[in-house]
Structures are given as C-alpha cells and as structure tokens.
Amino acid sequence: MSKLFSNFKIKDLDIKNRVVMAPMCMYSAEADGKAKEWHYIHYAARAIGGTGLIIQEATAVEKRGRISDRDLGIWEDSQKEGLKKIVDECKKYGAVMGIQLAHAGRKCEVKSEEIIAPSSLAFSEESNTPKEMSIEDIKVAVKAFKDGAIRAKEIGYDIIEIHGAHGYLINQFLSPLTNKRKDEYGGSLENRARFLKEVTAAVREVWPKEKAIILRVSAEDFIEEGNHPEDLAEIINMVKDEGIDIVNVSSGGVALAQISVYPGYQIRYAEIIKEKTGLPVIAGGLITSPLMAEEILQNGRADMVFLARELLRNPNWPLYAAHELKDDIEWPEQYLRGKIR
Ligand SMILES: Cc1cc2nc3c(=O)[nH]c(=O)nc-3n(C[C@H](O)[C@H](O)[C@H](O)COP(=O)(O)O)c2cc1C
C-alpha cells in the first residue's frame, strides 16, 4: 500500500487518503456570496474522483473581506443553505470537507467596499490604498472569523482552514512588509502574530475540540526583508496552542516579487515548518505526478499533499494515481466499467 493512499487520522477524522484538494476560488458566486450549481458540481466531481480532503475555496467572513464580488461568503446565515449543499454532496462520495475562512484585507477589489489593512499601504500601483484598521476594525474582523466558524459548524464542515497565506488580511499582519503598525499589533514577531492568535482563539472557542483546524501560511515572502520559513515556524509556535492542528504550507502573495517556481519549490518550506513546529503539514505546489507525491510522503517531508491545478485538469487524478502506485482503491460503482486494471 502506498503512503498516498493510506489513511490519515487527525482528531475525530479518518481521511481515506492523503490527497488534498487545495482551496481554489471559482469566482462563480454572485454579489450575495451564495453557492450555486457550479459549486455543487465542481466539488462533488472531485469527491467522486477520490480526493480524500477537499478544502473549499476562500470563503469570505466579512463582506469587505471578499477578493471580488463573485467570492463565496459565510458572513450571513442566508449563505448556509447553499454551502450545506456542497458539503452534503461531497460527503456522499466519501470526501472529508473543509472550508477556508478568509478575509482579503487590502486585496479586496470590490469597488463598493471600504478596504482595510493593518497599515495604509496599497498592494500595487493599480490597487486602492486601504484604511489602516482601528482596534474596533480588528475586533470586528476577529468576530467575523468566529461567526464564520459557528456557521461552518452548523453547516457540517469537518475541518476549518484559516487563510493566513497569499497576502490576505492575516498574512498582511504577519509580514513586516505590510505591517508597519506602532501598536501591539505591529513591530515584533509576537506583535505581528497577535491578530492571528486572536483569530485562532476565537475560531477554536466555537469549533468543537474534537475537530481539527488547519492554518494555511505563506512560508516565504521572496523578499529579503520579509518573512522566511523560520519566521513562520516561530509564529506558528506562538499561536499553535490556541488550537492549530495542521499547517498547510504555501508561499508568496504578500508583495510583488520575483519567484522561481518549479515542481516541489515549496516542499522545503513545509519540511522546515514540520521540523520546527512538530505539527503535521500539507505540502504541495506544481504536483502532477503520483510518484512525486509519494516521494514527499515516504521521505517524511509532509503528512499530506495538496494539488490545485492538476485537479482542475483531472478531477479523477486520485483514481489514476492509485493505479500508478499499484493500489487497488475503491472506484465509484458507476465508473467500475472504466476502472484501469
Ligand atoms: C484558480 C485558482 C484559485 C485559487 N484560489 C485559492 C484560494 O481560494 N485560497 C488559497 O489559499 N489558494 C488559492 N489558490 C492557490 C492554490 O491553492 C495552490 O496553492 C496553487 O495553485 C499551487 O498549487 P498547484 O501548483 O497544485 O496548482 C488558487 C489557485 C488557483 C489556480
């Protein structure tokens, strides 16, 4: 049996394999943030294709925390019904369902919204300049994550991923490139980690103890003065006791930077975070081959692997991957005549 198709146990969850569908914005909702037919079909297809853990795309906890006006949202109760349909569909086919709770901060591109960030610095020349968040804004954002977690629990998600990566609000607090605050939320690593710590504590307060929480981080800012994997490991060590169970390791997005990307370029960051925090990690980036995924797991470099674009190209990737790794996994009954033997 390959490692990729061995189960992964975390808290109350027994995930049937170690293939994680990374969160991917579909920009297919309308301004009300509600899930639609596209979402039910898109996610259910990956569940049918054998993905063990599906992490639903960045789902905004505040209206002004959307990237675009086509993002999914979880900022009000009326959004629960559509989201529940995604969860119910995916669970029918044996996937474990996660939701990425997100706030865009200065990366909000919705014209009608007030844009907020830890400091009043625009992402690029084309971007709007955000308002520096007041302490009240910080409290509102923390509460929005908490309310999102309450709704996620009511809907029936199995796992929450807190979006701390790719230059969105939490990442904007964590990075010295975007956080120039002079108060207790800026300056030292400990101060920059404070917002994340408060968000994690607020989510954990309402998210059942037996259920896991993932934190997604950008482990490398790709700018000398920015954060590097060792800084992220230190930050995670400061907040993990608030309730982080797994770290999903990504990189970049906080500032415009030159990045050299190649298959596996983020795996080293995941290894560093795993080693320095002692937490299980999800690693990935440009994974297309089952053998590459298997190597990462067999060598203990990560505990699970994520795939994003490859799962857009091929929703049945896990079914193919199992065959290539010589594992005889269960195929959906309806597809048995197509099973590779
Ligand atoms: C269409 C698309 C949408 C994405 N949206 C999100 C998102 O909502 N949240 C997130 O953390 N990452 C997002 N990402 C990044 C992916 O999760 C992943 O980290 C990245 O694509 C690298 O993995 P890959 O090489 O397997 O595609 C997105 C990527 C793509 C291609």
Residue 4 Cα, ligand 1 centroid: separation in angstroms? 20
d(CA 12, CA 212): 8
Please state which CATH number belongs to domain 14-333: 3.20.20.70
d(CA 172, CA 164): 9
d(CA 20, CA 264): 16
Computed on alpha carbons and rounded to an integer, the radius of gyration of the chain in Å comes to 19
Give nearest CA residue, ligand 1 atom 4. 24
Domain assignments of the chain as residue spans, ordered by start: 14-333
**What is the per-residue pLDDT across 133-169, written as a single tens digit (0 to 9) for each?**
999 999 999 999 999 999 999 999 999 999 999 999 9
Instruction: Please give the single-letter amino acid code of residue 300.
Output: G
Q: How confident is the model at residue 322, as a pLDDT?
A: 98
d(CA 138, CA 172): 13
pLDDT beyond 90 at 341: no
Residue 167 Cα, ligand 1 centroid: separation in angstroms? 13
Ligand 1 site residues, Cβ closer than 6 angstroms: 22-25, 57-58, 100, 163, 165-166, 216, 250, 284-287, 307-310
**What is the per-residue pLDDT across 90-109, written as a single tens digit (0 to 9) for each?**
999 999 999 999 999 999 99
